[in-house]
Amino acid sequence: MASPMIAMELTPKERTLILRYGYPFDQIKAALLAVSSSRRIETVMLDEDEVDRLIGDLCRSINHEEGGLAVQAQLNDLCNRIEYAQQTGDGELEMF
């Protein structure tokens, strides 16, 4: 049985942050790489089973102060957006 998916709008910068600091599992990584050349906001389907681990990995990168203060702030904002989408099912950028 396939796990539920979360539709998440992500900017190119957010997609890069996830790939670099989130250490995504196969489904999320494949979804991000499929739109990696796009410079637009893209809707990416995130596997709900992998989202908890993704959030944890992003938080780990924040806690280990990877990338400096500016990157940490961006990762924190991204974590908040992903958590919101996970809780509400609303992954649109309009809310933020």
Q: Has residue 1 got a pLDDT over 80?
A: no
How does pLDDT run across 9-52, given as a tens digit for each residue? 999 999 999 999 999 999 999 999 999 999 999 999 998 889 99
Q: Is residue 84 part of a domain?
A: yes
Q: Answer whether residue 40 is part of any domain.
A: yes
User: How many domains does the chain fold into?
Assistant: 1
In a domain, 15, yes or no: yes
- How confident is residue 95, by pLDDT bands cut at 50, 70 and 90? low
Q: Tell me if 94 is assigned to some domain.
A: no
d(C-alpha 67, C-alpha 45), whole Å: 26
User: Residue 18: which domain range?
Assistant: 5-89
Helix locations, 1-65, DSSP H: 12-21, 26-34, 48-63
Report if residue 58 sits inside a domain: yes
Q: Is 44 left (phi over 0), alpha (psi -120 to 50) or beta?
A: beta
CA 28 to chain centre: 9
- Asked if the model's pLDDT at residue 96 lies above 70, the reply is no
Predicted structure pTM score: 0.91
